[in-house]
Amino acid sequence: LAHFKKKAKFNKHNSYITHLDFSADGRFLQSNCGGYELLFSETNRGKQVGSASSLRDTEWDSWTCTLGWPVQGIWPADSDGTDINMVCRSKEGNVLVTADDFGLVKLFAFPCVDPKSPCTEYRGHSSHVTNCRFTEGDKFLVTTGGGDNCVFQWQHDVDDEDAEAEEIEVEGGEEFSKDEKKAVEKEEDDDMEFEDRGGGDEFMAVKPWVGAIRAPTGPPDDTKAKMTAEMNEHLNAFALSFNSLPLGQGKVPQEIHDSIFESMGKSKKAINKVRRGKETGPPAEDDLSLSWIHGYSSSGDNRSNVKYTAEDKIAYYAAGLGVVLDPEAKTQNFIHGHTDDVTAMAIHPDGNIVATGQLGKSPLVVIWDVATGAVIQTISGFFKRGVLRLDFSSDGTTLIGVGSDDDHSIALYDWKSNKLKSSSKGDKAKILDLKFCPGSTTNFVTVGVKHIKYWTIQGTNISGKKGILGKKGKLQPFPCCAFLNNNLVVGCADGSLYQLFDRNVKKAVKAHEAAINTIFVTEDNQVITGSRDGKVCFFDATLNCTKVVDVKASVGDKSLRPIIRSIALRKDGSRLLVGTEGAEIFEVRTDNSSIVGDKPLIVGHFKDELWGCAAHPLRAEFATVGDDGTLRIWNVKDNALREKFGVKKIGGMARACSYSPDGSLIAVGFGGSVGKGRQKCDGEFKVYNAESLDVVHEAKDSKEWIQDLKFSPDGKTLAVGSHDNKIYLYAVDKGYKLRAKFTGHNSFITHLDFSADSQFLQSNCGAYELLFSDVLTGNQVRSASDLRDTEWYTNSCVLGWGVQGIWGSGMDGSDINSCVRSSAGNVVVTTADDGKLRLYNWPCVEKDAQFEVGSGHSSHVANCCWTCYDEFLVTAGGGDRCVFVWKHDVECEGDVARVEAEQGSETNSAGGDDGEAEEEEEGGDDEFGERGGGDEFMAVKPYIGALKAPTEPPPSNPKAPECTLEIEHVFGYNGCGASYGEGGQVLYSTAALGLQMKRSEDGDGWNQNYCVGHSDDIQSFAMSADRAFFATGEMGKSPVIKVWDASSCLLLATLTSKGLKRGVTNLCFSGDGSRLCAVGNDDDHSHFIFADKGGRWSKAVELANGKGDKAKVLWVQWDPAGSCFVSGGFKFVKWFSIEGKNLKAKKGIFGKQKQVILPCGAIVGGKLVTGTAAGDLYVWGADRKCAKAVKASEVAVDSCCAHEGGLVAGDKSGSIHLFDSSLNKQGSFPLNRGRVKSLDVQERILVGTSDGDILEADKSTGEVVGGEPLMWGHGPGEIWGLACPPGLGGDWFVTTADDKTARVWSLSGRRQLSKIKLSDMSRCADVTDEGLLAVGL
């Protein structure tokens, strides 16, 4: 190849090159780039051709550029500049095909100039189609799928029949009917500028940060493997140290402290060197579980919402969760099931069941069990906007609720059967409370803004009569009510207590100096009231006051707002439960008014919003600041405020805080916006001593509020990011002198981070910019490439190279509020406006990266931070004002012995450095190049000036092209499952297709039939036991399941369920094929049972459903009898039985066996056998206990299949292992073709691999039947490179992919001809006339 010499270089593009085409005479190039430019150049000199008009009549040898004059019409309205990945003009030049991000292949007539050009669409690919090429003679079209990893071979058929309509010949030889002539004969403007499309959020139209994203350089190939191994060692060392941390309180021993800091530093450095953002799955070794919630819902209309249960535990709600607090054990149990803020609560008369209602367009009412936290019933459909109040009837059979609609509509439910008994409009005035009349399920009372009403149900009708105030009463708001015997008692806004007989006010007592918010009536007819005046009053049955408990005086400074919102009395009468507007819950002794434990059980922020949180760098402590004007220091270990100096009033709302590197100082940024105009404190910052909370320094150089601030790692600089678009840099060691200002941003500062060496800042702003600056001078660093390998001390910026994958499709630029990389550097957490936190691998570069999700916050989660050692994650709920503390669990290899905590202070010396700095390796540019999605496509169109129509432009064809595409063959396999059918055919799925492969009549090959109907990736597959039909489940927001006839490929049924969300991850038929179990991809991995009621799935119904497990479900199997089923996955296995429409689950017991990930399961001889990530087979008994473990492999057992003779298992290394029915090992065979993803056994073993191959193996020898696979495919990654030879018979084509291979395929033989190993991943290729292959790496 010595004759290949560099001739010239064209370097005028402002971004990476995406497409290029030669002119027919080879003299010129046209090219597109990531900056949406269309440029022209000379091939001999690489010199730009500045005049596009001079090339307007040039004939182009190919047309693959997505931007240019003849392809203007391919872009739909509102399209993103990256939506269309490739175009290809046919060899004949009359047809254009496009490949796009929506899995579509489209055919247009060429040229395609009109923005409304018609086209024909074809589906089959399940995600972005990356490339397309016509073969020689236009006989075939080949397309490659990015996410689905498939190669589609399409038959291209041209319709030769003339149209019957009268034809008129027009200039250029094209023929059209009379009706079409007007559309053709229009004057073409030479410059052909078409209107800017789009609009929408600036975030998706213009992404200013993209130009600042530079991927760090990667390790050289010859050291990558070694460095990866070292990284894994450091990560496991961190995990071992992490898991040896002592439980409970006390000082962490110094050696553990030093060890974990050292391992965190080393793992972070190793990750920065090795990981290149390829990790698309969720974190495998890390998990978050909710441990504690600080605060509760105490403001607005939330009253009477803290209750004692039958077992003297405490039930209440916080954010979007129900909570049960055990005050003795100091534990919380959380009840999920709501989708928005919980706003109402009622406790069943037996004290064991609670109902909670929520906000929302179609709000839910969730009824749950106090002891187990299990959801018993969910009611929906009637209420609108929200649920204001709930109450159970005295016999517990009926639940009443009032909605937030304009009429405050009322509904009564038989809650056990979920049956609406009666409903009616309530009152235009707001209803503040309601109660059933004693002993009745048909009579109730409502009170509210200037009204008291008695209601009666007659049949399905409800009628109301007003209470009569008379001379003793006054019309005013009535916040609460209760029944004393059979007479109504009402709390009033002026502090009075009214007693009504027969709807008339007969007695009025001045009970308090301010509004009565809550009333509690005991079984012995005591009336207890709680008021805004901070007092609780006890009354006898005649409303004589018998006792006053001054809660405000009792709690003293332990409550910042002791306005009483809720009260309850324990059954033995010894303790009073009090909820305050300050988000505190106290227990007060009734005999002496003292506080139990001398502090609140629950405490939280209480006004407007909560944003600021920061963790102490050296001990289990964190700080929060909120709009309530308080700085609070929390002790993680005992789930409470710090015992000494735990809270400080700071004089104004604050939304940012940060610890100094040694933990001795806390900086707080003041101000905020809640729609009330500017605050006096906006722009101020203060620095506090972290121990005493005394002010060390305060200053105000900005007039706008502060959203972020941080100390530099060396502690010498404090950076303050303001809403005046500036970052202020203060010299800490010079008395916080203002040293410099960075003024490069065009909007308010949202996030900032220091480099590890304290020399640079990276920052984001409200205009979605990512900028870099010098810490010393405040000057902007304009070359992002200069900082591409900079180690950042923290990563809280939501825009940058390492966090590109956190932005889901359709997101607004303000949807993600915060992100934080762990101290060990292996994971990153984001918090968002949807109330969820998401845990990703770090770095997170790939689009649509998978994640673990945590829910419970009810509105936007404003901020988050990792505590010392990454032991806990803290999230700050903006609107719900709650602080969630999440326990971080890290898996590790090896035995762990937890050490005992030392007594005394928890403070440790500054722990370790970040490990010894490993020698930096040179070279190895990141193979992913400059990433970052998004564009300026619809806002700025740099290519417009280069669009010049030909001197005599050909007429546009107003019709779609008269040709069709038909799938002829698909190469590739998605690993979901592959099975034999009843006739020996092979059934499997790939992309969005179900496929059937039948041996050809001559027995020399295989033909494919296709099951078309899914609209997204198929991610689950199941074959019935009689092999007569199979099922496929798809990804998607509201996914469907399709049942197919295995012989004819006809669609038998389409199954769906209201609760089936995000995807169908697993499917399994019962033994008789009459039932199908499906697993959803929602947070609970819910299970759904569908039943065949008509035979051969002619009539399918949903039989039952229920929650699965928070952990990911990897498989499901039916009991042979078909009455129950079992599922398992990430460290769990559960047996399910069907009880009516519900599923009842019981966990498997691992016993002495290690609780590990269970990737697969099968039923062998009536017993469950599961494969493990450790290479064992676990055998489970009828008692749900793991009876024994059988060693199958040294690596993970990924798949297994039961058959008449026993079991076949496949492992991660690509080997298959044979066992008899007693699980005695009969043999092992290495296949060396990637990990074994699926297995089926008949006369041969059918194997599906992670390399995209399907093959048959001999049961006795393990040899591949025929010496080659039945189906070939590329390995993991995406396929982009595609080339078809211009000559040489045109019967083959080439693909290149991320799996570091180039593959040559036969069109007529429908098989792989050869595989070429490459040194790196490849995404482009071309072939010369002589058959030379060029590959871009």
- Look at residue 1008 and tell me whether its pLDDT is greater than 80: yes
- Look at residue 205 and tell me whether its pLDDT is greater than 60: no
Judge whether 65 and 103 are in contact, CB under 8 Å.
Answer: no
Q: Provide mean pLDDT across the span 595-617.
A: 93
Q: Provide mean pLDDT across the span 531-535.
A: 95
Pairwise CA distance, residues 953 & 82, whole Å: 27
- Mean pLDDT, the chain, as a whole number? 86
Least confident of 69-78, 491-500, 710-719: 69-78
- Look at residue 229 and tell me whether its pLDDT is greater than 80: no
Residue 394 in tokens? 């005295």
Pairwise CA distance, residues 722 & 672, whole Å: 11
Burial 1002-1039 (b: 16+ CB within 10 A, else e): eeeebebebbebbebbbbbbbbbeebbbbbbbbbbeeb
The per-residue pLDDT for 581 is 94
- Nearest one of 1014, 1018, 1041, 1046 to 1030, comparing CA atoms: 1046
Q: List, for residues 1129-1143, the tens digit of each pLDDT value.
A: 999 999 999 998 999
Give the strands of the sheet with 684-689, arranged side by side. Answer: 654-659, 665-670, 684-689, 695-700
In residues, how long is the chain?
A: 1337
Q: List, for residues 732-771, the tens digit of each pLDDT value.
A: 999 999 999 999 998 999 999 999 999 999 999 988 889 9
How far is residue 994 from each of residues 298, 979, 1051, 1312, measured CA to CA in Å? 53, 12, 10, 21
Burial class (CB in 10 A: 0-12, 13-18, 19+), 1249: buried
User: Maximum distance among all alpha carbons in the chain?
Assistant: 110
The per-residue pLDDT for 168 is 31
Judge whether 1223 and 1263 are in contact, CB under 8 Å.
Answer: no
Residue 1329 in tokens? 């006339």
| Long-range interactions of 87-93: CB distance < 8 A, separation 24+ | 87/63, 87/132, 88/62, 88/63, 88/64, 88/132, 88/133, 88/134, 88/141, 89/62, 89/63, 89/64, 89/134, 90/134, 90/138, 90/156, 91/134, 91/136, 91/137, 91/138, 92/138
Judge whether 993 and 124 are in contact, CB under 8 Å.
Answer: yes
Q: Provide mean pLDDT across the span 30-38.
A: 87
Judge whether 536 and 549 are in contact, CB under 8 Å.
Answer: yes
User: Looking at the DSSP assignment, which residues form a beta bridge with residue 1334?
Assistant: 1326
Q: Fill in the amino acid letter for 416.
A: K
- Look at residue 182 and tell me whether its pLDDT is greater than 70: no
CB-based contacts of 1292, cutoff 8 Å, min separation 6: 1285, 1304, 1305, 1306, 1307, 1313
The per-residue pLDDT for 783 is 84
| Long-range interactions of 1096-1101: CB distance < 8 A, separation 24+ | 1096/1028, 1096/1029, 1096/1045, 1096/1052, 1097/1029, 1097/1043, 1097/1052, 1097/1053, 1098/1052, 1098/1053, 1100/1043, 1100/1053, 1100/1055
DSSP 715: S
Strand intervals (E) in 380-491: 387-392, 398-403, 410-414, 419-424, 431-436, 443-448, 451-458, 461-466, 480-484, 487-491
Judge whether 919 and 8 are in contact, CB under 8 Å.
Answer: no
H-helix or E-strand spanning residue 44: none
What three-state secondary structure class fits 887? strand
Angle (CA) 642 646 649, round 5°: 165
Q: List, for residues 1062-1101, the tens digit of each pLDDT value.
A: 999 999 999 999 999 999 999 999 999 999 998 889 899 9
Q: List, for residues 1234-1282, the tens digit of each pLDDT value.
A: 899 999 999 999 999 988 899 999 988 889 988 889 888 898 889 999 8
Angle (CA) 89 95 101, round 5°: 65
- Nearest one of 626, 756, 696 to 299, comparing CA atoms: 626
Confidence bin at 186 (pLDDT 50/70/90)? very low
The per-residue pLDDT for 721 is 97
- Look at residue 243 and tell me whether its pLDDT is greater than 50: yes
Confidence bin at 309 (pLDDT 50/70/90)? very high
Judge whether 1156 and 1195 are in contact, CB under 8 Å.
Answer: no
CB-based contacts of 269, cutoff 8 Å, min separation 6: 791, 825, 914, 915, 917, 918
The per-residue pLDDT for 63 is 93
Judge whether 999 and 1256 are in contact, CB under 8 Å.
Answer: no
DSSP 162: P
What three-state secondary structure class fits 1258? coil
Confidence bin at 449 (pLDDT 50/70/90)? very high
- Look at residue 897 and tell me whether its pLDDT is greater than 90: no
Pairwise CA distance, residues 89 & 608, whole Å: 59
Cβ neighbours around 787 below 10 Å, total: 17
- Look at residue 930 and tell me whether its pLDDT is greater than 50: no
Phi, psi (degrees; rounded to nearest 5) at 1266: 80, -5
The per-residue pLDDT for 4 is 81
Cβ neighbours around 1274 below 10 Å, total: 28
Judge whether 696 and 735 are in contact, CB under 8 Å.
Answer: no
- Look at residue 261 and tell me whether its pLDDT is greater than 70: yes
Judge whether 193 and 918 are in contact, CB under 8 Å.
Answer: no
How far is residue 218 from each of residues 91, 427, 788, 827, 917, measured CA to CA in Å? 40, 67, 11, 19, 17
The per-residue pLDDT for 247 is 52
Q: Provide mean pLDDT across the span 713-717.
A: 95
Confidence bin at 890 (pLDDT 50/70/90)? confident
Pairwise CA distance, residues 1141 & 546, whole Å: 51
Q: List, for residues 659-708, the tens digit of each pLDDT value.
A: 999 999 999 999 998 766 778 899 999 999 999 999 999 999 999 999 99
Say which residue, 1293 or 518, is predicted with more confidence. Answer: 518
Confidence bin at 280 (pLDDT 50/70/90)? low
Residue 460 in tokens? 């399905």
Strand intervals (E) in 755-850: 760-765, 770-774, 816-821, 827-832, 837-841
Confidence bin at 910 (pLDDT 50/70/90)? very low
